[in-house]
Chains A and B, each alone.
Chain A
Amino acid sequence: MRAVIAEDSVLLRIGLVKVLEMAGFDVAAEAGDADSLLKAVEDHRPTLALVDVRMPPGFTDEGVRAALMIRQQWPDTAVLLLSQYVEERYAADLLATQTGGIGYLLKQRVADVEEFIDALKRVASGGTALDPQVVAQLLLRRGGGPDPLERLTPREREVLALMAEGRSNAGIAAELVVSESAVAKHINNIFAKLDLPVADGDHRRVLAVLRFLDGGPA
């Protein structure tokens, strides 16, 4: 698996390259800004692009815009964004194009190397990795009207949040220290309570979550 990395802080980049190699990626190119990132993606067609949101010259949301462009032009390349803070509209923008092969994490999550590697692999294989803070913000943005969340039990809500982050049933089961079948039951209950058809495949779940969140693609 090939990866390119765009991060303007050299210190962080060296560490990220190490982590990518640990996760089994072959780092084809390192970029310091959005333009060289796009060029690197075009040249190498990597499986995964690891991108810092804030990059030269503007230091605002160059990474997000580059990510959108990559997902449009080279849909085979998955993008994992790293950000100093989470802004749920970035996530909504990204997920509006495609629900798989997208990740958006707080920068400090890279400290938990195992979990980060897990997220890298998940995104590279077409899954999703959303920061818990993004999910919390998305939950905050539900539209008005009768609140379907009210119908969920606290445990079901926890499961829903982890689902929104892109975790698999096994991942959710490990996080909540319950059995996988219990997780599957919770998920079925959630779909039933939210009047959503049960669909298989990981990103169909995120799609469902987002439809519920009233901010996602129809």
Chain B
Amino acid sequence: MAPPGPLRRAYDWTAAHTPWSAWAWRNTALVAASIPVAIPAVLAIAYTTSAPGHLFKTLGFVLLLCPLLTPLQRGRFWALTGVDIPKIQWPHPWYHPHGLLPRLRAESTWRQYGYHLLVSPLTALGGALVALGWATGAAFALVLSWAWALPLRLRPTGWTQDYVAFTVLGVLLLIATPWLAALIARLDTHAATILLGPNRARELERRVEDLAESRADILDAADLERRRIERDLHDGAQQRLVSLAMNLGIARATLTDLPPEARAVIDEAHREAKEAIEELSNLVRGLHPAVLEDRGLDAAISGIAARATFPVELTVDMPERPTPTVEAVAYFVVSETLANVAKHAQATRCSVQVRRRAQLLTIIVSDNGIGGADPAGGTGLLGLRKRVGSVDGTIRINSPHGGPTLITVELPCGL
């Protein structure tokens, strides 16, 4: 289907904006409804012009009415045009000790005030004009139009041919009034969305804050869950396995007169039980080691470093423990990088420095290996980057081919 030509579009548009269209009545209703809401401001302005000495009192009076007027205006737009002006969210009601002062300081309050004091009376004036337009137009076009059609003797006294001009004027007014209503409604709606609603930039800022907060909550929840699983494994499965392995060990040590086949079976079971313990410990360590929760990063990292197959030089300078989530990420960073060094770097020594200065935790891991670590190539480094990013940390990997590799991670410890 071909797009309608300009002429067709102009016709459609005009047809949709005729005085008898729904659109015309909607705009009329909107501007007319502004009149009662504007009464306080109009009174205030009138009073101020007659008694300028009471300027501040009257202005204060409108300010006091703001919490009442704003919902009324919002309701007017929503009910009559379907335009939804979002509410401004406050953490506390206005009568709360922390409720009033922030409201007085907020620019949104003063934007609203501006709307109620200046725009609202203007719209009301426009509303009055529109009403007047409809009324005069109707009176001129309808009440006076039929008289000329009557026989001369039946015409009202004083009626002359000139009255035809009134009829024409009335019809013109009826056509023009919807346009006036439209203009005023449009300006009013525009002003109201800007002045009564929340500031868009601030709204976005608030949303980002909300999102950051909910992300932090999710991270904390996941971390809590890891710790719970660790605790369950430690208190349940691990203890039972240790006890099983011990009993098998006792059997091995005491039942010396068993046939060699039976001894072999016991030996095998004992070995497997010990392996299972080892596997379970590794699993638990990957989740969230108990030492991290009980004794903090320093102890947990020295645990990983001690298990490394190459010498690790460890420096931890941390006057204060960060939050459990940041701690968990830092632990993960060190354990993952040391695992990477062991797997790929062919290093003979490695150094780990963990330092906290104010709100920043810095982790520097360096090795004397072959280098060439590339976050694009390995899932390990990618996972590291994601984990660091989850707390808004940064990671820098400097690993030229031939080595050495230097990985610097910075984690913010603030909110």
User: Taking beta carbons and an 8 Å cutoff, which residues of A are in contact with B?
Assistant: 9, 11-12, 14-16, 18-19, 22, 54, 60-61, 84-89, 107-108, 110-114, 116-117, 133, 136-137, 139-141
Contacts and interface: CB of A to CB of B under 8 A. Distances in A.
Contacts of B240: 11
Interface of B: 234-235, 238-240, 242-243, 245-250, 252-254, 270, 273-274, 277-278, 281, 289-291, 294-295, 299, 302-303, 305-307, 312-314
Contact of B295 (A87, A112, A133): A87
Contact of B253 (A12, A22, A108, A141): A22
Given A19-B246, A22-B250, A84-B234, A111 B274 contact: yes
5 contacts: A12-B246, A85-B289, A87-B295, A112-B274, A137-B303
Given A133-B307, A137-B302, A140-B302, A114 B253 contact: yes
A111 B242 CA distance: 7
B239 A9 contact: yes
A111 B303 contact: no
A84 B313 CA distance: 24
Contact of B303 (A14, A85, A139): A85
B234 A113 contact: no
Given A9-B239, A11-B240, A88 B234 contact: no
A108 B314 CA distance: 26
Closest 6 CB pairs of A and B: A111-B245, A113-B249, A136-B306, A137-B306, A15-B246, A85-B291
Contacts of A18: 250
Contacts of A116: 249
B299 A87 contact: yes
B359 to A, nearest CB: 26
B314 A111 contact: no
Given A15-B247, A15-B250, A111-B270, A84 B290 contact: yes
A107 B244 CA distance: 13
A107 B253 CA distance: 19
Contact of B245 (A22, A84, A108, A139): A108
A76 to B, nearest CB: 28
A60 B240 CA distance: 20
A113 B246 contact: yes
B281 A108 contact: yes
B253 A111 contact: no
A60 B289 CA distance: 13
A169 B371 CA distance: 42
A136 B243 contact: no
Given A22-B254, A136-B307, A107 B302 contact: no
A139 B290 CA distance: 22
Nearest to B273: A111
A94 to B, nearest CB: 15
A49 B232 CA distance: 27
Given A86-B303, A108-B281, A110-B242, 15 more contacts: A16-B246, A18-B250, A19-B246, A22-B250, A54-B294, A85-B290, A85-B303, A87-B299, A87-B303, A108-B245, A108-B278, A111-B277, A112-B249, A114-B253, A137-B302
Given A136-B306, A136-B307, A89 B252 contact: no
Tell me the interface secondary structure of chain A in the complex.
helix
A111 B247 CA distance: 8
A36 B254 CA distance: 31
A89 B252 CA distance: 34
A50 B278 CA distance: 23
A84 B240 CA distance: 13
A113 B306 contact: no
Contacts of A88: 302, 306
B314 to A, nearest CB: 5
**B248, B294, B305, B314, most chain A CB atoms within 10 A:** B294
A75 to B, nearest CB: 27
A141 B250 contact: no
Given A85-B303, A89-B299, A107 B294 contact: no
Contacts of A54: 290, 294
A113 B245 CA distance: 9
Given A84-B234, A85-B303, A89-B299, A108 B312 contact: no
Contacts of A140: 302, 305-306, 312-314
A19 B245 contact: no
Contacts of A85: 289-291, 303
A9 B306 CA distance: 28
Given A9-B239, A15-B243, A140-B305, A61 B294 contact: yes
A106 to B, nearest CB: 9
Contacts of A11: 239-240, 243
Nearest to B313: A140
Contacts of B295: 61, 87, 89
Contacts of A86: 303
Contacts of A14: 243
A11 B237 CA distance: 12
Nearest to A15: B246
Nearest to B248: A111
Nearest to B293: A60
Nearest to A60: B294
A104 to B, nearest CB: 14
Contacts of B281: 108
Contacts of A89: 295, 299
Contacts of A112: 249, 274
Contacts of B250: 15, 18-19, 22, 113
Contacts of A113: 246, 249-250, 252-253
A107 B252 contact: no
A84 B294 CA distance: 12
Nearest to A82: B242
